[in-house]
Amino acid sequence: MLVVRPITPQDYAALYTCAVESGYGFTSLPVDEGLLKRRIARAQEAFAREHVSEPGEEGYLFVMEDTETGEVVGCSGIEAAVGLTEAFYHYHLGKVVHHSKSLDVYNALETLTLCNDYTGVSELCTLFLREPFRKNQNGRVLSRFRMLFMAEFRERFSQFAIAEMRGVSNENGESPFWSWLEKHFFNMDFNQADYLTGIGEKAFVAELMPTFPLYVKMLEPEAQAVIGKVHENTRPALRMLENEGFRFRGYVDIFDAGPTVEVEVANIKSVRESRRMKVRIDTVDSAKATRYIVCNTRVSDFRAAQARVELVDDTIIMSPETAQALRLSEGDAARCVAL
């Protein structure tokens, strides 16, 4: 059974493997031993905080584990509030109008403006599932369980949430958008810039990135074409988030111009439709059972998985095996949403 749980220091090697396999452009999982170990330590601290009244610097990082083999097959995270101690940059896609009534000229031009508009919002991040396990809706579980966690612990998160989508790059990790920026403003390739940002070295962004609005028409056609577009491997993740209510509002990544999508947490479909129910452990009638994402309601001992369960009034009926995997006992509370 594949179960999602908080990351532990013993998961470092598996997290490093995920970082290597995630490839170019996956900013939140750089191949850097120090940073990965710090992320694990930071997550441990976040899960250990029992009384949280408002979102702060907490970074929750989870892994998906095969309980039969002990193998970690993927990871997924939530940042409680971004940009509180380090600037959190985006480009915002807007418009300016140049109009001359006397000359009968009207031009509406798209611009990209550097901003920090998402400061303080929560972020769904670091979603990666290893290739052999991209089946049986495992990826959907590894993404959507976070919405159950946010629904259960609303005080720990902002009113709004975002997700940054990986932008277009080729097999060598070269981004058409960054190529234009590199040519005119920087002296480093995309992978180096992306890596520096991933390990927290962001000062160069403020120092070298153009702070004035950029006219999109000034960019090379290849760069213009990828603004707000996602990497081919990211399309399924984007579709899933769109089904949950996330929408693109014109904010793009400053390196690869990939879209950032946003939503009000209360309006996330899985948050709205999730139910908190009382656990009953019994034999599950296969004819009546339906597949759900189910989680317990504890922070440091959090567990989530997909399972076939029955819902009767305010009770969720699950097998002893499922209850054991989720560390649930008779009469406990569980939260669930249809898979």
Q: Which amino acid is at 336?
A: C
Residue 332: both structure tokens together: 């406990």
Altogether, the residues listed in the chain come to a count of 339
Phi, psi of 293 (to 5 degrees): -90, 125
Q: What is the dihedral of CA 272, 273, 274, 276, to 10 degrees?
A: 90
Please write down the HEC assignment for all residues of 250-275.
EEECCCCCCEEEEEEHHHCHHHHHCE
231 among known catalytic residues: yes
Angstrom distance (rounded) from CA 282 to CA 330:
9
Angstrom distance (rounded) from CA 266 to CA 248:
17
Angstrom distance (rounded) from CA 178 to CA 189:
8
Angstrom distance (rounded) from CA 187 to CA 210:
14
Q: Which of 90, 98, 184, 231 is catalytic?
A: 231
| DSSP codes, 296-311 | ES-STT--EEEEEEEE
Q: CB under 8 Å to 163, separation ≥6 — which residues?
A: 123, 124, 125, 241, 246, 260, 261
User: Cβ(51)–Cβ(217) under 8 Å?
Assistant: no
CA 217 to chain centre: 31
Active-site positions? 231
